[in-house]
């Protein structure tokens, strides 16, 4: 069964139709590349899944149940996690503190509860180990490489039982070697049965790691096919509009 299913989703801002009648379904453990030019409707679509916007029309279902989100925190409760384009990290805090930001572990009774440093370091260390990352929980994020920072942001999504992780341009601003690192992190998420939606402009990344590619143009879904049955040339054509629809 699909972990997330969108049916005839539309969203307009005044007269502008940002997303127009899009249906798609995402299976557990699947990496879906979401591609399209600027203004194609990718971000709007993702923001509806993340709870930032509500659809004007259409329905979303998660594990067969209807999903109605009023704010991002509710999306998180349903197991939808987002890795933001700028990663949303605090440089002055440790890796573990960033992983747990906003949902810190505490110990104690009633109102007398203090931060549980030991447990947070331990769990963060385990997450980094699962991700095969060299990131260390006590290191300050300030002194980390781009790939390590990605690991911190991704570890954050693994804290709770995430079912689907939305990644917004995770490889946009990092070095070639670090891109490989990030793609590995995505594979680790997939291997744990988590669905990943990879929003990207970079054709090679999507063709390396994704199982499926969805192309959007002018608010409509113009293609939704397996990587094996497509090619970078075809996707480029779909993005620019040289190929109308497949």
Partner 1 sequence: MALTIDQPIEHKQQSLPARVFASQTFWVVIAVILACVFLSFATDAFATSKNLYNITRNITFVAIIALGMTFVIITGGIDLSVGSVLCLSSMILAVTMHAGYSIEVGILASIATALAIGAFNGVLIAYLGFPPFVVTLGMLSIARSLAMVASNNTVVFQFGPDHAKLLSLGGGAWVFGIANPVLYMILLALITGFILRWTKFGRHIFAIGGNEHAATLTGVPVRQIKVAVYMISALSAGIAGIIQTGWLGAVTTNLGTGMELQVIAATVIGGANLAGGVGTAFGAIVGAALIEVIRNSLGLLGINAFWQGVFIGGAILLAVLFDRIRNFRRSD
Tokens of 124: 């963060």
Instruction: Name the DSSP class of 55.
Output: -
* Stretch touching partner 1 by CB under 8 A, among 13-21, 31-39, 58-66, 137-145: 137-145
Residue 132 as a binder of partner 1 (CB under 8 A): the answer is: no
Residue from 4, 6, 26, 89 that binds partner 1 (CB under 8 A)?
89
Q: Which of 153, 103, 106, 104 is nearest to 127 (CA)?
A: 153
Contact with partner 1 (CB under 8 A): which of 106, 160, 177, 233?
Answer: 106
* φ, ψ dihedrals at 61, nearest 5°: -125, 140
Q: Is 25 helix (H, G, I), strand (E, B) or coil?
A: strand
Would you give the DSSP letter of residue 84?
-
**Is residue 143 part of the contact set for partner 1 (CB under 8 A)?**
yes
Adjacent-strand bridge partners of 107: 114
Q: Which stretch binds partner 1 (CB under 8 A): 112-120, 170-178, 180-188, 226-234?
A: 112-120
Q: Give CA 141 to chain center in angstroms.
A: 21
- Which residue in the set 2, 115, 243, 246 belongs to the binding site for partner 1 (CB under 8 A)? 115
Scanning 55-145, the segments in alpha helix (DSSP H) are 72-77, 95-99, 117-130
Considering only residues 84, 188, 218, 225, which one is a binding residue for partner 1 as defined by CB under 8 A?
Answer: 84
Residue 109 interacts with partner 1 (CB under 8 A)?
no
Q: Which residues make up the interface to partner 1 (CB under 8 A)?
A: 72-73, 76, 84, 86-93, 97, 101-104, 106, 113-115, 121-122, 124-126, 128-129, 134-140, 143, 156
């Amino acid at each position: 069964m699909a972990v997330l299913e969108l049916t005839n989703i539309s969203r307009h801002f005044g007269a502008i139709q940002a997303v127009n009648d899009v249906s798609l379904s995402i299976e557990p453990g699947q990496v879906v590349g979401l591609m399209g030019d600027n203004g194609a409707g990718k971000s709007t679509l993702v923001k509806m899944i993340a709870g930032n916007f509500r659809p004007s029309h259409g329905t979303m279902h998660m594990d067969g149940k209807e999903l109605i989100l009023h704010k991002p925190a509710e999306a998180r409760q349903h197991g939808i996690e987002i890795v933001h384009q700028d990663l949303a990290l605090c440089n002055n805090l440790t890796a573990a503190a960033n992983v747990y930001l906003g949902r810190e572990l505490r110990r104690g009774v009633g109102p007398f509860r203090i931060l549980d440093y030991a447990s947070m370091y331990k769990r963060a260390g385990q997450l980094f180990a699962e991700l095969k990352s060299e990131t260390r929980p006590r290191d300050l994020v300030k002194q980390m490489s781009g790939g390590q920072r990605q690991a911190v942001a991704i570890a954050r999504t693994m804290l709770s039982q995430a079912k689907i992780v939305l990644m917004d341009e995770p490889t946009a601003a990092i070095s070639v070697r670090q891109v490989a690192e990030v793609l590995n992190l995505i594979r680790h998420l997939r291997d744990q049965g988590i669905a990943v939606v990879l929003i990207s402009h970079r054709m090679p990344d999507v063709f390396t790691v994704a199982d499926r590619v969805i192309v959007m143009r002018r608010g409509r879904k113009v293609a939704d096919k397996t990587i094996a049955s497509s090619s970078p040339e075809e996707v480029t054509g779909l993005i620019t509009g040289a190929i109308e629809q497949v």
